[in-house]
């Protein structure tokens, strides 16, 4: 009887497999041919077949990434994962340079070294690649020197990206270039209502299920609130008070859902009190903050940052993180470092998306 039962189970599994194989083969063709103007005409929709077929997800990974990727979105739609590993967007520094001055770090009298910039960018790229990161590249554009700072292109949320609306006219031509790249990669682009200023993941970072937003220097507080309303998540605007730390990611770096780096003097009193609700805060000293210690890239328990931050490296090690330092001084001349040079397409390590 046991052998017969096993044979019947095998036949049942075989038939079950054929049935679902036919479903997955035929339905995408039916939808794309029957509804030319429907969401199914978008190639991304073919990755969302689980929204209409209640099949079990064969993913046993219980990591934060798995939970985030399979969270329900608006209208009850489940998004199938677009990524199976940490994925970042970078832009080679072919046309990077100090062509204007829009923050205290920038001086046309202190130009960047093109060859050194390429070496430093490549070293960061290679470290991330060695940590298992899938790196997507945006084509550099002459006349857009800050396109290299992809973190400012937008804020990622599932298959949507909220595009930057730059405050300074020098950077505004980047947005159409960014939008074209995102659309070609299958993302839905969302523009904030005019005249709101918003500078992407430079000023909007999730720590757990809370979106922290930097405002005053570049982005508007009302832009951060608009994002929270759209995503239906809790938002905490943080006022930045030092122009040297003009973006939130220059003075605040969530490491996981309950841990973050921060530089206290960059924030007003209310912001510091708001940040104190994060269970574990690691304060960065002034000398290392000026090395953009908080502008770090987090990959699992790995933290990639600029050199010259020995105290932070020791603190990270104490809390179970693995620091990786690489020189990025050429980009510091423009007010950027490791985090500025990358945009995490699959969501930051610390983010739990609603």
Task: Provide the annotated active-site residues.
Answer: 247, 340
Contacting residues for 82 by C-beta, under 8 A, at least 6 apart: 44, 47, 159, 186, 345, 346
- Residues, the chain: 354
> 294's torsion region: left (phi>0), alpha (psi -120 to 50) or beta?
alpha
Host H or E run for residue 26? helix 2-34
Q: Across the beta sheet with 234-239, what order do the strands follow?
A: 204-207, 210-215, 234-239
| Residue that has been written with the tokens 């991304």 in this structure | 44
How far is it, in rounded angstroms, from Cα 176 to Cα 54? 38
How far is it, in rounded angstroms, from Cα 179 to Cα 188? 9
How far is it, in rounded angstroms, from Cα 209 to Cα 201? 15
How far is it, in rounded angstroms, from Cα 139 to Cα 90? 9
Contacting residues for 87 by C-beta, under 8 A, at least 6 apart: 133, 134, 135, 136, 344, 345, 346
Is 58 buried (19+), middle (13-18) or exposed (0-12) by CB count in 10 A?
A: exposed
φ, ψ (nearest 5 deg) of residue 183: -65, -40
- Asked if the peptide bond before residue 309 counts as cis, ω within 30 degrees of 0, the response is no
């Amino acid at each position: 009887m046991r052998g017969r039962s096993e044979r019947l189970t095998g036949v049942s599994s075989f038939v079950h497999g054929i049935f679902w194989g036919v479903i997955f083969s035929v339905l995408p063709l039916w939808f794309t041919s029957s509804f030319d103007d429907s969401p199914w005409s978008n190639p991304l929709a073919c990755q969302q077949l689980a929204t209409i077929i209640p099949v079990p997800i064969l993913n046993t990974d219980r990591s934060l990434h798995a939970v985030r990727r399979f969270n329900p979105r608006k209208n009850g739609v489940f998004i199938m994962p677009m990524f199976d590993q940490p994925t970042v967007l970078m832009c080679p520094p072919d046309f990077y340079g100090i062509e204007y001055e829009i923050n205290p770090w920038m001086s046309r009298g202190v130009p960047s070294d093109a060859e050194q910039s390429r070496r430093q960018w490549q070293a960061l790229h290679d470290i991330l690649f060695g940590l298992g990161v899938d790196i997507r590249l945006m084509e550099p554009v002459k006349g857009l020197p800050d396109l290299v700072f992809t973190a400012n292109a937008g804020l990622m949320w599932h298959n949507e990206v909220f595009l930057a609306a730059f405050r300074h006219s020098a950077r505004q031509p980047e947005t159409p270039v960014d939008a074209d790249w995102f659309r070609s990669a299958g993302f839905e682009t969302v523009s904030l209502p005019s005249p709101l200023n918003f500078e992407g993941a430079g000023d909007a970072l999730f720590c757990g299920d809370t979106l922290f937003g930097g405002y005053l220097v570049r982005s508007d507080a009302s832009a951060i609130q608009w994002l929270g309303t759209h995503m239906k998540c809790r938002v905490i605007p943080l006022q930045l008070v030092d122009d040297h730390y003009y973006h939130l990611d220059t003075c605040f770096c969530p490491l996981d859902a309950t841990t973050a780096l921060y530089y206290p003097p960059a924030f007003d009193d209310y912001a510091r009190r708001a940040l104190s609700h994060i269970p574990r805060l690691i304060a960065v000293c002034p000398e290392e903050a000026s090395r953009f210690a908080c502008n770090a890239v987090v990959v699992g328990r790995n933290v990639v940052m600029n050199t010259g931050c020995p105290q932070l490296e020791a603190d990270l090690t104490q809390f179970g993180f693995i620091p990786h330092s690489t020189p990025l001084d050429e980009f510091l001349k423009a007010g950027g470092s490791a985090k500025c040079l990358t945009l995490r397409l699959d969501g930051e390590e610390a983010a739990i998306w609603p």
